[in-house]
Amino acid sequence: MVETRSAMAMAPVTCGELVQGFLGGRDFLITSPIELHSKVSIKLSPEWEDVRVESDRNYGKTSKAVSLLLRTLGAKHLGARMWVDSPVPRSKGLASSTADLAAALHACADALGQTLPPHLVARIAADIEPSDALFYPGSVIYDHIRGEVLEFLGSPPPLAFVIIDTGGEVDTLGFDRERARAHARASQAQMLRAVDLVRQGFRRQVPVLVAEGATLSARLHQEVLHKPWLEELLRATRELGVLGVNCGHSGTVLGLMFDPTRHEGTAIAQRAEEITGPGRLLGIHRLISGGTRLVRCSREGLSRPQELSLDTMGEPLTRIPVQGGVALEYEQGPERRRVFVLPDGNQSVNPPELLEGLIEVHPPPVLREGDTWEMTVSKLSEADGGVQYLPRASVPGVSPVPRLLPKALFEAAFALQGDVYVRRVRIVRLGAGQVTYEAQDGSLTVLAVPLFLSAFQRVVLSEASNNNVVSLPGVQDRRPPGDRT
């Protein structure tokens, strides 16, 4: 009897993008995943000669992606049958195709007993078409043409969307990208401002900053792909708690943004329908951290203790590579506490790998408490009392986009060394995938490891100086903790 392997996974769709444009010579978008998912179940068998989705609808991109993954993972002798469960309308700017593709890839890898790092999904998706990066945890700034992360932003502040369809359809491949790039080049200062507002909103967990940046991007894009009712909806819903609006930059959706901890979306949705007419509302959904998740885990490649954990703890979110096998990641309780079941059956609350597969680095950088790291930046320009600068990432595959600071804060944070500017900090604590570092004024900042690595590089110092921040002339960090990068 031929063994059939199976698994099921899901991936979030998006409400358009928070920001999209062209900056620092790169196409980019900022992901906007929502709590609405595409689910894909898969069966693999050597008896099948092809890969296909069992549906009347065309899922050619998903089938092609799974075929590429099977070849990549050395399983091209297997065929596949897939079933897609998605409530999402197509060609609206909700990243429905990317969600189907990402869920199918996660399920395929799990059916083989293998892990699926997001950078591999990104590579396969980029080979097929420009794609969102909803398969990365948190939100990211992402080059959707090349399939490369530009910056990790982390988990979002509390935000939700009343999603409105303005009508029609937009084909991703048919979108006039050159016109959009030309418009973005002519609006670089405003584009940079939009990105910086969203970045600060994430870092400081302030919803109104994210909404302000998204609104600026949506308004800039009106000359590229006009959305009817945008300004009218904003004016009519401000009093109901709407903070701003985002859009599908190559789609038809608008998202009226509000803080769900302070307002409900029902009144906003009713007012929006009064303006746009019935049938335009696509739902009310929260902004969430991205990332694919398992719905039904394969037992392929698991240890016996881990198989037992499936019976007692239910389905894990994903599997993570560790020495001697894989770790299963779970979320438990209303606080969604993370628990990892190791190959020997022991449980840990600490991630087995700090990078958690987000970045393709060989070998991964060593993080140790007491070590000094530095942010090295190039000063790009000065205008209106502000400084535009570009950090140099410490790992390949991460290419930060330009940033903006008031001139006084920039001069207080960075010291000139040759033709670059440098700021040094000391790591004081590591744990749960986060870095706590100390600035020169003694203040502490906590960042997720990928965020830290996207901006800082390790400084090799003598042992005598390794336990202290190395002072640079004129460098004092006077910014509040939430504003530091």
Confidence of residue 256 (pLDDT cuts 50, 70, 90): very high
* Domain C-terminal end among 286, 302, 334: 286
Report whether 253 contacts 272 (CB < 8 A): no
- Same domain membership, residue 222 and residue 121: yes
Residue 332 lies in a domain: no
Could you tell me which residues come within 8 angstroms of residue 141 by beta carbon, excluding any fewer than 6 positions away? 28, 29, 30, 149, 150, 151, 153, 195, 401
Q: What pLDDT does residue 477 have?
A: 33
Domain encompassing residue 378 = 372-483
* b/e per residue 83-95 (b: at least 16 CB within 10 A): ebebebeebbbbb
Neighbours of 74 (CB within 10 A): 9
Name the residue type at position 42: I
- Same domain membership, residue 182 and residue 84: yes
Query: What CATH code is carried by the domain that includes residue 167?
Result: 3.30.230.120
Report whether 47 contacts 79 (CB < 8 A): yes
- In the structure encoding, which two tokens stand for residue 53, read together? 């989705």
Q: How many domains does the chain have?
A: 2
* Domain C-terminal end among 269, 286, 303: 286
Name the residue type at position 456: F
Confidence of residue 433 (pLDDT cuts 50, 70, 90): low
Q: Mapping DSSP to helix (H, G, I), strand (E, B) and coil, where does residue 255 land? A: strand
Whether cis (ω within 30° of 0) applies to the bond prior to 363 is yes
41-53 tens-digit pLDDT: 999 999 999 999 9
Q: Mapping DSSP to helix (H, G, I), strand (E, B) and coil, where does residue 156 land? A: coil
Mean pLDDT, range 12-40, rounded to an integer: 93
Residue 359 lies in a domain: no
The phi and psi torsions of 18 (rounded to 5 degrees) equal -70, -40
- Side-chain half-sphere CA neighbours of 194 within 13 A: 28
Report whether 131 contacts 144 (CB < 8 A): yes
Q: Rounded to whole angstroms, how far apart are CA atoms 178 and 184?
A: 10
The residue among 205 and 360 whose pLDDT is bigger is 205
Element (H, E) at 201: helix 188-204
Report whether 19 contacts 213 (CB < 8 A): yes
386-411 tens-digit pLDDT: 888 888 766 655 666 788 888 888 88
DSSP alpha helix (H) spans, 92-176:
96-111, 118-128
Polymer length in residues for the chain? 485
Residue 264 clears pLDDT 70, i.e. is over it: yes
Q: Rounded to whole angstroms, how far apart are CA atoms 43 and 82?
A: 7
* Domain C-terminal end among 223, 256, 286: 286
- Same domain membership, residue 379 and residue 275: no
- Same domain membership, residue 143 and residue 280: yes
Residue 236 lies in a domain: yes
The CA-to-CA distance between both ends of the chain, in Å, stands at 57
- Side-chain half-sphere CA neighbours of 230 within 13 A: 23
Q: Mapping DSSP to helix (H, G, I), strand (E, B) and coil, where does residue 482 land? A: helix
Report whether 309 contacts 297 (CB < 8 A): no
Confidence of residue 224 (pLDDT cuts 50, 70, 90): confident
- Side-chain half-sphere CA neighbours of 239 within 13 A: 4
Residue 441 lies in a domain: yes
Q: Rounded to whole angstroms, how far apart are CA atoms 278 and 275?
A: 9
Q: Mapping DSSP to helix (H, G, I), strand (E, B) and coil, where does residue 178 land? A: helix
406-422 tens-digit pLDDT: 888 888 888 888 888 98
Q: What pLDDT does residue 1 have?
A: 52
Could you tell me which residues come within 8 angstroms of residue 340 by beta carbon, excluding any fewer than 6 positions away? 320, 327, 328, 329, 330, 347, 348, 349, 350, 351, 352
Residue 388 lies in a domain: yes
Name the residue type at position 28: F
Q: Rounded to whole angstroms, how far apart are CA atoms 437 and 427?
A: 4
- Same domain membership, residue 391 and residue 251: no
Residue 148 lies in a domain: yes
Confidence of residue 432 (pLDDT cuts 50, 70, 90): low
Residue 331 lies in a domain: no
Alpha carbon 56 to chain centroid, angstroms: 31
- In the structure encoding, which two tokens stand for residue 94, read together? 């909700």
Name the residue type at position 153: L
Alpha carbon 333 to chain centroid, angstroms: 24
Could you tell me which residues come within 8 angstroms of residue 274 by beta carbon, excluding any fewer than 6 positions away? none
Neighbours of 482 (CB within 10 A): 11
Residue 471 clears pLDDT 50, i.e. is over it: no
Q: For residue 331, what are the β-bridge partners?
A: 338
Q: Rounded to whole angstroms, how far apart are CA atoms 188 and 474?
A: 31
Residue 365's nearest CA partner among 376, 379, 375, 354 is 354
- Same domain membership, residue 391 and residue 272: no
Residue 343 lies in a domain: no
Residue 106 clears pLDDT 80, i.e. is over it: yes
Residue 478 clears pLDDT 50, i.e. is over it: no
